[in-house]
Structure 1
């Protein structure tokens, strides 16, 4: 019996992943939510500013924000994302014994749901959730392109760095699911370009015009007025980020680079452990019916990766960026699977020894982290 379990361990690995996620949640709620909490306090009280949409939505429902709301809102968002991804996987591959290794490699990856649990309350997961919705939606009309544009606007208002983090993946999904599947004409191309121009203009407005217009003392006083417990002044220590110019962010990132770059071999190892998944992804691309589709998919993967490279230069939360890059690859894999293929691509084998070892190692890694590995 033990031999059978070791030969085909995927259901057990799925159970272990669920237990680890629960453990990460218990650990997370014991930590002070420094950055996530202050984002729930900031709104448009002083005019248009960056990183304020989530706080503005919260302000519609409550004048005083308790600390536990970080975990409540973050937990609900995480559960919704889990449900959306399960629906997407069901739609793309179906749940069966032969698809279980693929599900474990994606959903059980330390880059994905486990790391979103560790970064509970941060804004990254919203980009993932909205991209999954686009993968689930019908894509045959301009309504799909308009929805993608609206989602991109929402993401930039949540945090302008989404222009690099998830908007390129949103664009890839729109191109693969709408333009490649249904063709290009003058109206849908013009609409897409206009939407991209609007999102880009909004990014520059948030980046360069979205600085807090009042003195920091007045800003902090307002944040205290929105806190359920104003004595928790330790949770306001990151108020400076609404005043920090881009040049200072880049300077801080390069100042930390000699130390943070030591984590790159760990990131490389984690990526290598996903080798069975990357092989399957490469097989999907090779199996595409159209040469043009293959070239465009490869160009999209390069473009998304270059956007993350720019993020590495600008902001030092390296573990988050690597994790979200991997999530973008997972989502694009689903988009590629929806394109016409010349032949079937063999799934990740369920009874291969090396694949089982890689799956076990990834399962036992609880998360990647925020700045440095683990």
Structure 2
């Protein structure tokens, strides 16, 4: 039984077509986000300030307040696009550092990764949300030299992420510190006691900040006063429901999540299909991790610990919130960065070779085309 493959020249033409489809999909999602009204939940985060004390989800709004009395929606869109562009640039740098090989193979893998509806398209589709900031810090945790200054800088950046939105505690902060742990374990001699203590102390500080933001950093004024304050800085309508995010407790959040859970369960086949079309990338990085962990015995147990923590964080996130489609994209980004961190820490001794992506396999081409054709994965439900 023989396998069917494309000629290399045909594969090159196919991936050029995939790249064109990707460009169209990116254009569609950019135009959609630029031309449709800015969602109120994204806009209101630029209006809340620290005027009445330290509040959760208020750092970005307080920064805006230092430059302008009112916030125009187009400024929020520009801010979001700049953040995605920075993230994309860092990802390109990371990709070039970690992936090498024949140009055609690298191009094919790049189409699969950068064209995924779970990654950068999803950041644009969720323009105005702060997930992209977590990805930026995680990429810096891989790219910067592994020194004390880097750990301190990453710790401060992680604290800033929590002040921007405390949900980072269960999404990107575990990934960021997982990256640092994997890099430290991959060092000659493994994880030093001093490094482990530094990570533990940093995480303890971040955990304390998270708990304070979650339970104590709530407005001390009546809802009406809070709404009047943010509406004074708004140039588009701010509904009464927008105050919920600052006044709600965990007990208030859970019923909303459980109310939409049946809709998510009904869409499990859609979630599975979205994951399945990424199988060439999943298999590619799985092979690399096996090789890296075979040469660094300590990486295997560390990887399992990081996986449990990251997946546990996402489970907590999806119990409390209901943006399952959006968070599926974040989960994909987190595991992609964790895989790249191991390749980067290993020094690319063979693991950066992209030749086994099997770019001439029609199934791989079809997967690349399928990922390219999807503009983005969605916010609450997939493809919505």
Gaps of 5+ in 1: none
Partner of 1:364: 373
Q: Deviations over 1:55-103 (max 9, x none)?
A: 1111121111111111111111111111111111111114832211221
Sort the Cα spacing of 1:235 and 1:30 in 2 relative to 1 into closer, same or farther, 3 A: farther
Structure 1 residues 190-339: aligned runs within 5 Å: 190-227=197-234, 229=235, 232-234=236-238, 237-288=241-292, 289-339=295-345
Partner of 2:75: 69
Further displaced range: 164-173 or 24-33 = 24-33
Structure 1 residues 63-102: aligned runs within 5 Å: 63-94=69-100, 96-102=103-109
Structure 2 length normalisation: TM-score?
A: 0.91
Distance (whole Å) between structure 2 residues aligned to residue 179 and residue 4 of structure 1: 40
Matched, 1:16 2:21: yes
Structure 1 residue 313 displacement after superposition? 1.1
Matched residue of 2:220: which SS?
coil
Q: Is the 8 A contact 2:177 2:199 kept in 1?
A: no
Matched residue of 2:43: which SS?
helix
Partner of 1:28: 33
Distance (whole Å) between structure 2 residues aligned to residue 361 and residue 219 of structure 1: 46
Distance (whole Å) between structure 2 residues aligned to residue 190 and residue 234 of structure 1: 45
**Aligned residues: CA RMSD:** 1.9
Partner of 1:106: 113
Q: Is the 8 A contact 1:148 1:174 kept in 2?
A: no
Distance (whole Å) between structure 1 residues aligned to residue 192 and residue 226 of structure 2: 49
Structure 1 residue 15 displacement after superposition? 2.9
Q: Deviations over 1:326-356 (max 9, x none)?
A: 0111111211212337864653122111111
Q: Is the 8 A contact 1:20 1:366 kept in 2?
A: yes
Which of structures 1 and 2 has the larger relative contact order (alpha carbons within 8 angstroms, sep 6+)?
Answer: 2
Partner of 1:153: 159
Q: Deviations over 1:115-138 (max 9, x none)?
A: 111101111111011111221111
Sort the Cα spacing of 1:369 and 1:66 in 2 relative to 1 into closer, same or farther, 3 A: same
Structure 1 length normalisation: TM-score?
A: 0.93
Further displaced range: 284-293 or 49-58 = 284-293
Q: Is the 8 A contact 2:58 2:163 kept in 1?
A: yes
Runs (4+) of structure 1 exceeding 4 A deviation are: 2-6, 341-346
Distance (whole Å) between structure 1 residues aligned to residue 357 and residue 83 of structure 2: 30
Query: Matched residue pairs, number?
Result: 369
Distance (whole Å) between structure 2 residues aligned to residue 290 and residue 303 of structure 1: 21
Sort the Cα spacing of 1:173 and 1:100 in 2 relative to 1 into closer, same or farther, 3 A: same
Structure 1 residue 3 displacement after superposition? 7.6
Further displaced range: 364-373 or 81-90 = 81-90
Sort the Cα spacing of 1:283 and 1:63 in 2 relative to 1 into closer, same or farther, 3 A: same
Partner of 2:181: 175
Distance (whole Å) between structure 2 residues aligned to residue 347 and residue 332 of structure 1: 20
